[in-house]
Structure formats: structure tokens, C-alpha cells
Amino acid sequence: MQEFTYSSDAPIVDTSQDVFNRFPFANRIAKVISNRQDASSIVIGIYGAWGEGKTSVFNFIESELKQEERVVCIRFNPWRFADENTMLLNFFNDLVRAVDRDFETKGEKLGKVVDTYFKPLAQILGKGENIEAVSSILSSADIDEIKSRVEKILEEERKRVVVLIDDIDRLEKSEIHAVFRMVKLTADFKYTAYVLAFDKEMVSASLQERYGTANSQAGRLFLEKIIQVPLQLPAIEKADLRTFCFKAIDEALKVGEITLSENDVQQFVNHFQAFEALMKTPRQAMLYSNIIMFSLPILKGEVNMVDLMLIEALRVFTPEIYMLIRENKEVFLHQLQTYNEEQEKECRRKLIDEKLMSIEINDVEEVKGVLKYLFPKLESIYSNTHYGHDWNSEWEAHQRVCSDKYFQRYFSYSVSRGDLSDIKMNSFLDDLEYKSLEESILDFKDFINEKNVVNLISKMRSKVKSISNNEVLKNLAMVLAIHGNMYPNPQQQFGNTFSQAALLLGEIIMKQDTKGEKMKVAEVLINQAKPLHFATEIFSWIRSLKDKEGNKLVEEDLNVLGKVLVDKITMEITNDVNLMFSNFRGALAYWNMYDEKNQAKETISTILKSNPDYALNLIKQYLPNVWSNGIKVDADLESETYDALVRDIKVEDLIEAFNKVYLNLPNDEEYPEFVECPHEEKIVRQFIWLHTYVQSLK
């Protein structure tokens, strides 16, 4: 990656850099001053907003004037001085040094005149006196004589002194007042010219506070008394500003070693048009290029580059809208709630439209178009177009800002601890083809953790859709299969990460080209998957998934894989009689379904005889999941659950175990639904009641 080369926002000095054609304007001002025959002084004001290029124009004026023999140029910077008095004293010193250095008169040096008449100034200024004191001293020293002697020296040399003062609008209000009082005091010397550059509105407002009366135009009128030639900085051609901005964007992309596709370029250019009308100054364009010079390399490979460039454009040109997006993720990403859709639609639309009012009315629709491109779900609040959940995977695959998994990256400039770096994940996937399984397992453990595992599985599912290399897919499946314990498996209403990981492995199996390859990969994964219930979950998905032709594995194939699973279940439960896990019911069902030796019921019977408490764990595994307000609640044991239990486990073994755990259970004549007792006892009594009064009738 190339070294960052941020623009310092430095004004230009070379006409070859004059992309906005400001030199003719500056050259004309220089010629007017240098060719002026009138001996009287002149004050020229150049008006322009911050960042429009006033200083660059000043540089051109100064460069042209320095080529004129009859002109002495002084660039006075009032920023250098801590107070008004110091500024005034140094102004006179600068004037004297410049004139005495450039003038070759054999007569009286201007420095002697200043020594004679301005020495008292230094003494007064040193005591902290102000401009009024200066005026008083000059008056008492016969200002007419001073002016005539100074003007005589300037006339003898047939030269003109030009004082350039820039950035007046950046001064404190008191300093702005001081600069204009200084100009007013000295600008009536013959053979002098002042060129002042500032934002007229800002300076007028500052002067208004000082000199304002009932007349609200006092600041503007004060300027009109001082500025004899008011000039507005020429407007920049939109095409020139656009070219300047796009050149800066190209440089940022080059520095970040980022190549956009033809479609990406087209999308960006089409939507960036919305900001071209809002881009008024070169400084704004340079600010934008500096921001993307920073953000693009940091987030390269982690977000969608076009989305990032447009989000940063919103930050520079419409900051209020940018902050609205940053602080209201749900407004831009989440679906409307169907139960109060119209009310919520109106609320969101009002929130966005109020911020859009901060920009010019002519630009609102174009900026709104950018928002709709970045956040397609906004279409549902401005029209009847809706994007369903199936679009989420598409946006995630392209790292869009409208994806819930990527949104935060655009505003934090980093991958959070709970997120997973796409660069690391892609590197891991790329290396799978060349590294051994042991090396890949180490790489996997290096970047996965409990905080990012949820995003990992989600992103892997998106990635797998575009991977065609079967060796990579098989190696990935093996790495994922042996890490089943890392995938969260909470009791919840909807698919969790544990289930999604098993689904991912099922999808990899079904992506294999031939039935033989599908079977081979499936057998290996079921055998190697850890823990046992992860292997069971994988098999569950294999039974229901289809390949790209829409075909499922036939029953004959499932019988083969079922026996592989049965062997694994038999071995692990036999080795650990206390083994229990979520979906144990599914494991027992498959054990009974595919076990030709009928070992399942006998093995469970043996366990129950030696460990009666095991029956309580078993019965709870068969209870249905019941939810209330998103929280799992205790379920009753009803006839469907009873049927499932006795289908997989010998009923007499369960009854015997329950009687050992509960020695004196009451004889319930009615179904014990509302009895006051612990939940475990309650479901045992329900099981016994069903066995006694209902199942015995079948």
C-alpha cells in the first residue's frame, strides 16, 4: 500500500495548478494596481467564502506585482500578533523595512521619517495604549507634514507600495476591528494600495456589532466607506470543481490500491451527482478526498467501497443527514412493523424529511435517491416497494451498509470484537486449498471466538454459495464439523447458530457434484463431528436438503448414513451413561429408526436400572418448547409426548425408574394440570396418569 498523501489544503502558487482559471482575475487586479497613474491610494476588497481560493488569488497577485519594478509588495499577516498594539507597530516596521530595502533614493530615507515621527508610537504601544492614542500622537505631530514627506519619497522613486492582507475573516472580532481601523488610519497615503481578502458577510456581521446602531446595515456601510473597489471572487465552473474532486478521488483510490469495477464506478458517479450541487468550494472537495484517503484503506475488504464513498460524501456535504443515519440505525435498516405500519411509516418519513430540509430544496430529491440506494428498505416508506428478508443475504454478501452485520463498520472505521474481519475470513478460505487440516484448524482457532462465532457462521453460509472448489468446501466442512461445541445452542424459538452451522455443513454436502461424493463427505462429517448432538443435527438437515437440481438423497442413502450415525450414538452413549444433550430425543429417534440390532431401547433400559434419575432427564428432553413473550416456559406432558417417549423407550422401564425416584406419588384421578408441586414431579404424574387412564384404553 502506498504512503498516505493527505492534502494540506495549501493555496497554489503556480499557474500550472490553476484548475479553476483564477489567474486571469488575479492578473487583471495586478495590472490595475501597477498601471495606475493616479497618485491617490486605493483599497481593493476581494470577497469570497472560506475555501473558495482567495489565498491562491493573492499568491497570483503577489507573484505578478513582484515582476513590476514600480511596485513594492508587503504581505502582512495580522495572525502573527497577540494583540492590536503589537500588530500596528509591526505593520509600520514591515512597511519601513520593505520601502528602505527596495527604494534607491539619495534623499531622505523613509526610515528616518518614521524614526522622527513614529518613535512615540512604540512607546505608547508598549504601554498598551490603543489606536485612538496613535491617532492623537499623529495629530499633534503635524500629520500633514508626515504625509507630505512620506509621499515625496514615494513620488521620487515613482513607485507604489501594495499591502496584501488575507484571512481577515478568520480573526477574532476585536482583531477584525483593529485591522480596519489600521487601514482607515493609513490608507490615505498617496502611492499606496491595499488588497484585502475576506468573507464579506462574516466581516460585515462582526463590524455591525461594533459600529451598529439602529441601522442594521451599519457593518456593510462601514465596509463601503473603506473598500473602494469591491470585487467578488469569480465563481468556479461546476465542471472544473467536479474534475478537481474526481481527480482527488482517483488519487485516494490509487493510494489505497483499490480498483473499482466498471459497475461500481457507474454506481458511484450516478449517485455522487447529488452532491455536486452541494459542493461549493475547492476546500470541500479536498476535505472529502482527505476523508476517503483515510477511510478507504482502513476498511478495504471489510465494507462495500461505493457505499463507503457515498456515506463519507453524506458526512462532508450533508452532515445532519449523516448523523441521523449514524444514530438511527433501525430507521434505515429494519422492516416496518405490520401491526402499525402506516403510523411507523409516517414517523420515519417525517424524521428523514425534517433533516432533508437542511439542504437546498432543488437537491432534496437527488439526496433522497442516494439514501434509497444505500438503504433500499426506505422505499417502503416512500412507495409501496418492499424488500423481504431474502434480500438480507444479498446485501450481506456485498458488504452493503444496509446489512445489519456491516452497518456499524461504516461509522466506527473498524471491525468490532463481536464482528469477524472479512479479510481474515477470506484469507482463511483461500488457504484451505493449500494447507493441511491441522494447519487450517490452527488458523480457524486463531480468529474465531465466542463473540464473533455467530457472524462467522452467517458469513460462511453466504460465502459457500460462491465457492466452486470442492476441495476447499470439504476442508472447510471438516474444520467446522469438529468445532460444534463452539456454536451457541440456546433454547429459543428460531434457528440458532448451532443449527445454522449444521445447516451449512448440509449445504456443503449437497453442493458436491455426484451422489457418491455427497455420500462420502456426509459419512466423514457425521463420523468426525463433535459433539454427538452436532452430528445428529447435521444428519437432520441432510434428510431435508436438496441439491442444485432440486433432488434429495433417497431413502436407501439415508439408511446408509443413519447407520453411520447409529454406530456413533451407540459408542458414545455406551462410553458415557450420563451423556445428555439438547435434541437427545432426536438422537434416540434416529437410534431406533436405523439400528438393525435394536440396541437403543436395551441400552437405555440398562442405564435406567442403574441410574433412575436418568428418567427425569429423558422425559424433559421430550417436552415441547413453549414460549410466552419470547421466554421459554414449562410445558405439560400431553399424549403426543407420551406416545413419542414410549415409542423410543420401554414404558415399564420408565415407570420403574419414576417409582424409585418418587416413592409416594399420589394417585391422580384427573389429569394433574394445576397441581401444586415441582415441575419435574408434575410431568412424572402426568406421564403416569396418561399411562394409567388413557393409554391403557388404546
Give the model confidence (pLDDT) of 254-290 as tens digits: 888 899 999 999 999 999 999 988 888 888 888 898 8
Q: Which domain holds residue 431?
A: 415-580
Structural domain contains residue 351: yes
Residue 193 contacts residue 161 (beta carbons within 8 Å): yes
Mean pLDDT of 164-192: 82
Residue 162 contacts residue 72 (beta carbons within 8 Å): yes
What's the CA angle centered on 211, arms 205 and 213, to 5 degrees? 100
The total of other beta-carbon atoms located within 10 Å of residue 296's CB is: 21
Query: Helices 555-575 and 584-594: crossing angle, nearest 10°?
Result: 120
The sign of the dihedral angle between the CA atoms of 305, 311, 314, 319 is: negative
My answer on whether 250 and 203 are in the same domain is: no
Mean pLDDT of 510-527: 93
What pLDDT does 686 receive? 93
Which of 361, 392, 412 terminates a domain? The answer is 412
What pLDDT does 3 receive? 45
Mean pLDDT of 4-21: 60
My answer on whether 572 and 470 are in the same domain is: yes
My answer on whether 247 and 267 are in the same domain is: yes
My answer on whether 512 and 438 are in the same domain is: yes
The conformation of residue 15, written as its DSSP 8-state character, comes to: G
What pLDDT does 151 receive? 72
Structural domain contains residue 6: no
What pLDDT does 150 receive? 66
Pick the residue with more confidence: 151 or 359? 359
Total domains present in the chain: 4
Pick the residue with more confidence: 397 or 213? 397
Q: Which three cell numbers stand for residue 265?
A: 464506478
Residue 72 contacts residue 102 (beta carbons within 8 Å): yes
Which of 397, 412, 427 terminates a domain? The answer is 412
My answer on whether 433 and 561 are in the same domain is: yes
Residue 495 pLDDT level (bands cut at 50, 70, 90):
low
Measured distance CA(7)–CA(457) in Å, rounded: 42
What pLDDT does 145 receive? 62
Structural domain contains residue 11: no
Q: What is the average pLDDT value for the chain, to the nearest integer?
A: 83
My answer on whether 259 and 394 are in the same domain is: yes
What pLDDT does 560 receive? 94
My answer on whether 356 and 384 are in the same domain is: yes
Q: What is the phi/psi pair of residue 673, to 5°?
A: -90, -35
- At residue 76, the 3 state secondary structure works out as strand
Mean pLDDT of 678-688: 93
The total of other beta-carbon atoms located within 10 Å of residue 481's CB is: 22
Pairing of the two strands 229-232 and 42-47: parallel
Rounded percentage of the chain residues whose pLDDT exceeds 70: 85
Structural domain contains residue 187: yes
Residue 139 pLDDT level (bands cut at 50, 70, 90):
very low
My answer on whether 439 and 347 are in the same domain is: no
Structural domain contains residue 16: no
Q: What 3 state SS string does 111-163 have?
A: HHHHHHHHHHHHHHHHCCCCHHHHHHHHHHCCHHHHHHHHHHHHHHHCCEEEE
What pLDDT does 108 receive? 52
Q: Which residues on neighbouring strands pair with residue 232, listed in sequence order?
A: 47
Mean pLDDT of 335-356: 83
Asked if residue 142 has pLDDT above 60, the reply is: no
Measured distance CA(488)–CA(328) in Å, rounded: 29
Measured distance CA(657)–CA(132) in Å, rounded: 108
Closest CA to 138 of 173, 186, 183, 210: 186
What pLDDT does 299 receive? 92
pLDDT per position as a tens digit, 85-133: 667 667 766 766 666 665 554 445 555 555 555 555 444 444 444 444 4
Residue 594 contacts residue 563 (beta carbons within 8 Å): yes
The sign of the dihedral angle between the CA atoms of 79, 83, 88, 90 is: negative
Measured distance CA(234)–CA(231) in Å, rounded: 9
My answer on whether 603 and 684 are in the same domain is: yes
- Highest mean pLDDT: which of 4-18, 415-429, 503-517? 503-517
Asked if residue 409 has pLDDT above 90, the reply is: yes
Residue 528 pLDDT level (bands cut at 50, 70, 90):
very high
My answer on whether 316 and 383 are in the same domain is: yes
Measured distance CA(56)–CA(62) in Å, rounded: 10
Residue 502 pLDDT level (bands cut at 50, 70, 90):
very high
Structural domain contains residue 585: no
Residue 10 pLDDT level (bands cut at 50, 70, 90):
low
pLDDT per position as a tens digit, 612-665: 988 988 888 888 888 777 677 888 998 888 988 888 889 999 999 999 999 888
Measured distance CA(209)–CA(187) in Å, rounded: 23
My answer on whether 499 and 526 are in the same domain is: yes
148-183 in b/e burial notation, b at 16+ Cβ within 10 A? ebbbbbbeebebbbbbbbbbbbebeeebbbbbbbbb
What pLDDT does 501 receive? 93
Asked if residue 505 has pLDDT above 80, the reply is: yes
Mean pLDDT of 200-217: 75
Structural domain contains residue 611: yes
What pLDDT does 696 receive? 56
Mean pLDDT of 40-54: 85
What pLDDT does 129 receive? 46
Asked if residue 348 has pLDDT above 60, the reply is: yes
My answer on whether 443 and 463 are in the same domain is: yes
Q: CB-side exposure of 690: number of CA atoms within 13 Å?
A: 20
Asked if residue 162 has pLDDT above 70, the reply is: yes
Q: Which three cell numbers stand for residue 378?
A: 426506505
Q: What 3 state SS string does 157-220 have?
A: HCCEEEEEECCHHHCCHHHHHHHHHHHHHHCCCCCEEEEEEECHHHHHHHHHHHHCCCCCCHHH
Pick the residue with more confidence: 140 or 578? 578
Which of 187, 209, 232 terminates a domain? The answer is 232
- Highest mean pLDDT: which of 155-169, 328-342, 543-557? 543-557
CB-based contacts of 323, cutoff 8 Å, min separation 6: none
Mean pLDDT of 523-551: 92
Asked if residue 508 has pLDDT above 90, the reply is: yes
Pick the residue with more confidence: 675 or 51? 675
The total of other beta-carbon atoms located within 10 Å of residue 610's CB is: 8
CB-based contacts of 593, cutoff 8 Å, min separation 6: 562
Measured distance CA(254)–CA(256) in Å, rounded: 5
Mean pLDDT of 210-232: 78
Structural domain contains residue 668: yes
Measured distance CA(215)–CA(227) in Å, rounded: 19
What pLDDT does 680 receive? 92
What pLDDT does 698 receive? 53
CB-based contacts of 281, cutoff 8 Å, min separation 6: 49, 50, 51, 52, 53, 236
- At residue 255, the 3 state secondary structure works out as helix
